[in-house]
Structure 1
């Protein structure tokens, strides 16, 4: 038994059986867990194993599937409920197709999950199957029937998986409800590779996983290795004497601009024989000459070069993390050997440390990448480098919920206003039931605490809201004022809003917008917003007589742009007097701005 498992060990196995068929099986106990997915990718991403079969993937949707560089993945997911599922990762240089697979049950029925593939090697085709049979589950006949029909069509057959059969020689199969599994192996002429117990938890060691084949004489090597960071099941490895296509490294051919000198290129363009193009009569010939000259210049200064794409290690996996992984695996092996409680505590502590450090390192790396993205192009390149957008379709939605703010495709904020209206009315109805018990001052405080924050939420980005939605929100505020003073529905409300010192819904939005802008300019963050605002005084050398710190209004062409915060907030800011804008603190600015807006309505 080795001291843990590392990626270098897997690479050594590949080198020892470089020209042979290398098969791996592991019960991952859910690859939807981030720590399991990270460990799985760390071990196998860009490796040279030919086939990696995985049981209990817990995949439910295509977005859940973990992608490995250099592999094509074939899955059979259980969509009726959580758990189960199988996946087979086949090296991209091998041709492969799905022959049969399980159908997810409609209800929470325990059925085996399986997938059967035809894989073309260098000189032959093999039938490869991966199966997961839940504990004490029947219906193995579905897999048995599909596999048995195909046995006669293929000379070489491989079955991997977790069948929960307890392959222990001292336990009768009828007691352990494993007759169907043994019957499957017998009828398909399959022989299991003689691994030891493959599942270990506490003092329990059981033989649940298998690699079985009908060409046992071609096996050259096999072993099982604990994967402490991934599963309580051992990783099963076997190599077979089959010729496989040579591993081809991915390459790309493109122009090499590393020695491109712009001045030299310009000089060559000036000295190029352009007169040949003018002497020609036919337009096709002119285009041909033009392309020939331009291509010749590019071939000289930026020739084509073939680059081999190397599978670089994940940049956030540092030597510190690799060292911690080795310590964790060593601790797990020690615990497996001694079964001591103290060794178990040490292993679990190291396991949790690895998960935490690796997660934090990945988050830190992602933040550094995104913070350094200065343009949309850089941002999308960063997302692609992290496989965030890999094979994930982005559906078009009419409306999305972002932190409780409903954003519709037309940016008229109808959906958001409707949701706000319903929440506010529900809260107001709850208060009305106790209206007679509450004094006026308490009613005012309850409305200011429970209802007005709902109306104000996200108001600084809703400048494009249509008039009918603004009126709908204003009606809520009017209803709140009537509740505070116990007024009838037909009573005019304007003087009562002034008495409450409440701004109208529109002016509240204006007030919160200039306050937010003041904070951005005061604290100079967030950077992506602060960079959008420029004072006129920094552009024009001549200072204004009133010493008013006005902001430069950016050009905008459409109504949608006019509703953007950095446009609307600047317009409102420039309407405030210098006495308000020159306030030194945030609190004094809020007080002066509220007083000014109460007396002079800001327009936008």
Structure 2
């Protein structure tokens, strides 16, 4: 809010932004705030009302960071600031192909992709631009490591590969759950190339035995490992509450043996290509498919050990 500006005028400009967005029924990302329209738009208004001094419930304020409050303030600034490069609009869905917002006479059109916490989001959530960026950076570092490989020991080369390649492959990889094989194969090619460089394996040799000897899980199972590890933490109060609230234990209507199996309730989604990729849907599905002894692990370390052994068996058909 500008200095000396009346709160009513400030809220009027906030409402103009909100009403423009509410004309559409999908989800948009405005600046760094994720707004699920109709439901979460009320939260944005409450944040803005806090900025201008209107009372809001203490429980809600407690969950809002100072950064969120600053972002809410900036959303309602002049259109010249809204069009600043720090503010990006991403519209998803076919009906948003010609989508635009008219804010005080200024036209705001969606970006082809936006970056948040190092993740590149595209309108179709294919994550292909994100994976292409990872691939580009990974091969840059692989070429540099390849120049040094003759002078490096096996352990030193492995450390470099984990630091510059594996860390990129594992960074927020859980968002890639349910992605197409075309996307995952790009990352798998990076991992295969890193394994060949480390072990001096020829391009004509099969890579599966090499990954097996290195005890490297393929990309698909690394994604499953991350989701299942987060699930274990969520149901054992080791993760933030906003994740734990998404999961619910399965409670049969009758007394069945499954009541003690530590199963999670599977939710139904409207859109399988998108909805099934959400953590609330993916986590119970993967969790319930685990053997009983893994689901009943008592400690995080024992769970990780049993889970990696299980996924390793699935990945290499042992």
TM-score by length of 2: 0.69
Taking the aligned partners of 1:546 and 1:495, their CA distance within structure 2 comes to: 40
Q: Deviations over 1:272-327 (max 9, x none)?
A: xxxxxxxxxxxxxxxxxxxxxxxxxxxxxxxxxxxxxxxxxxxxxxxxxxxxxxxx
Q: Deviations over 1:391-442 (max 9, x none)?
A: 6555422211011111111011100110010111111111111111112232
Judge conservation of contact 2:138–2:165 (CA < 8 Å) in 1: yes
Alignment partner of 1:422 is 2:86: no
| Aligned pair partner of 1:412 in 114, 118, 126 | 126
Q: Deviations over 1:5-50 (max 9, x none)?
A: xxxxxxxxxxxxxxxxxxxxxxxxxxxxxxxx8xx73xx344xxxx
Cα distance change of structure 1 residues 466 and 438 upon mapping to structure 2, 3 Å threshold? same
Taking the aligned partners of 1:495 and 1:508, their CA distance within structure 2 comes to: 17
Taking the aligned partners of 2:145 and 2:248, their CA distance within structure 1 comes to: 46
SS in 1 for 2:133: helix
Taking the aligned partners of 2:137 and 2:9, their CA distance within structure 1 comes to: 51
The number of aligned residues is: 238
Residue segments in structure 2 that go unaligned for 5+ positions in a row: 11-38, 52-71, 83-88, 90-107
Cα distance change of structure 1 residues 577 and 405 upon mapping to structure 2, 3 Å threshold? same
| Aligned pair partner of 1:378 in 42, 45, 56 | 42
Taking the aligned partners of 1:382 and 1:597, their CA distance within structure 2 comes to: 45
Judge conservation of contact 2:297–2:303 (CA < 8 Å) in 1: yes
| Aligned pair partner of 1:594 in 296, 304, 308 | 308
- Compare CA radii of gyration and give the structure with the larger one: 1
Residue segments in structure 1 that go unaligned for 5+ positions in a row: 1-36, 47-67, 72-374
* Aligned position for 1:449: 163
Alignment partner of 1:544 is 2:208: no
Taking the aligned partners of 1:509 and 1:525, their CA distance within structure 2 comes to: 18
Judge conservation of contact 2:218–2:315 (CA < 8 Å) in 1: no
Tell me how large the CA RMSD over aligned residues is: 2.5
Judge conservation of contact 1:399–1:408 (CA < 8 Å) in 2: yes
CA shift, 1:496, in A, is 1.0
Q: Deviations over 1:115-151 (max 9, x none)?
A: xxxxxxxxxxxxxxxxxxxxxxxxxxxxxxxxxxxxx
Taking the aligned partners of 1:541 and 1:398, their CA distance within structure 2 comes to: 51
Alignment partner of 1:574 is 2:288: yes
Cα distance change of structure 1 residues 577 and 438 upon mapping to structure 2, 3 Å threshold? same
CA shift, 1:466, in A, is 2.1
SS in 2 for 1:406: strand
CA shift, 1:562, in A, is 1.2
Alignment partner of 1:402 is 2:66: no
Alignment partner of 1:481 is 2:167: no
Taking the aligned partners of 2:114 and 2:9, their CA distance within structure 1 comes to: 35
* Aligned position for 2:101: none
Bigger shift: residues 405-414 or 561-570: 561-570
Alignment partner of 1:466 is 2:180: yes
Taking the aligned partners of 2:193 and 2:225, their CA distance within structure 1 comes to: 21
Judge conservation of contact 2:250–2:264 (CA < 8 Å) in 1: yes
CA shift, 1:526, in A, is 2.3
| Aligned pair partner of 2:224 in 505, 510, 527 | 510
Cα distance change of structure 1 residues 491 and 551 upon mapping to structure 2, 3 Å threshold? same
Judge conservation of contact 2:177–2:224 (CA < 8 Å) in 1: no
Alignment partner of 1:494 is 2:180: no
Bigger shift: residues 461-470 or 399-408: 461-470
Alignment partner of 1:390 is 2:104: no
Taking the aligned partners of 2:9 and 2:125, their CA distance within structure 1 comes to: 43
Judge conservation of contact 1:414–1:465 (CA < 8 Å) in 2: no
Alignment partner of 1:535 is 2:240: no
SS in 2 for 1:451: helix
More contact order relative to length (CA 8 Å, sep ≥ 6): 2
Within 5 Å, give how 1:69-84 maps onto structure 2. Answer: none
CA shift, 1:446, in A, is 2.1
Judge conservation of contact 1:401–1:407 (CA < 8 Å) in 2: yes
